[in-house]
Amino acid sequence: MKFRLAGDGSIFGFCTDPTTLDTARWTACYLTTGKHIGFYWSFVTVLVLLAVTAPTALLFGFGGASAARSQVLPLRWFGTIYISIVRGVPDIAFFLFFVIALDQGFEFLRHQYLCPDWTDRIWQGNDFVVCSAAKLPLGNAPQWVHEVYGFFLAVLTFAIVFGAFAANVLHGAMQAVPRGQIETAEAYGMTPRQAFWHVLVPQMWIYALPGLSNLWMLLIKATPLLFLLGVEDIVYWARELGGTKQARFSDYPHGDWRIWYFLALLVFYLAFTRLSEVVLSRLTRRLSHGQATIGATA
């Protein structure tokens, strides 16, 4: 008797009995099972994560850098503390902490709004208990809602962590813009706010780009941490599909093929980082044009 794993059906009609197939057709059937389609979609998940997280982290970073140089003391403290704490704690600790903290924080706020008559304690020892209406997502929500919510928490966690590093880079870039530029703008009648937006911000990017380029590479390398956040990423699927599959558990039994799956991930990351280097190099040359910087000289 054979047992078919959920999602193991292939897209090809001739895959009804894998034991009768030759090598080429067996491979075609194996690579188009439902689980492999999930594996291919996980690459899209990683790319979407990067596309959403990068600008979000940059926004967090710009806010943190602006706060760190603010004339308002509480704001300056907030920006400095945000940068120092996140940079001083291992990333994996924040990835594990923030997901739980954000999830419970959202549920706590919903609980206070939706269940004002609740009399029991929310924190009961090690348990966090809120009313059913406050749960995120709701227990009867479709599976895609659970996946989108998990992805949202992952993006927010990545943005908070890498936003602190971006804030440090942008703060240094703001400091690198010659002070004389700001003084000249103010001498021509610009307010400090106008000088900030029209003089400082446009010129700081060329100083920030090398650090932001390195940060982008680190963000790419950190995407395998999605597995720790409950998102089925490419590393999860590579380990799942590459592991030994016995005949009684799968229509496509094979040995330990993890080395080949991880080799595919190696090629993917190397190709993607190389493409990133080319794009960032061209962007640096474009922004350096006419600037008195090392990048412009090069």
Q: Express each pLDDT in 215-231 by its tens digit.
A: 999 999 888 888 777 78
Query: Is pLDDT of 125 > 80?
Result: no
Backbone angles phi, psi at 33, to 5 degrees: -70, 165
**pLDDT for 195 beyond 60:** yes
Q: What Å distances lie between residue 9 and 12, 17, 146, 248, 258, CA to CA?
A: 9, 11, 24, 16, 21
What's phi and psi for 231, nearest 5 deg? -100, 130
Looking up tokens 């996946």, which residue turns up?
A: 147
Structural domains in the chain, CATH included, are 13-297 (1.10.3720.10)
Per-residue model confidence (pLDDT) at position 5:
38
User: Rounded to two decimals, what is the model's pTM?
Assistant: 0.81
What pLDDT, in 10s, does the model give residues 133-182?
Answer: 888 887 777 888 888 888 888 888 899 889 999 999 999 999 988 888 88
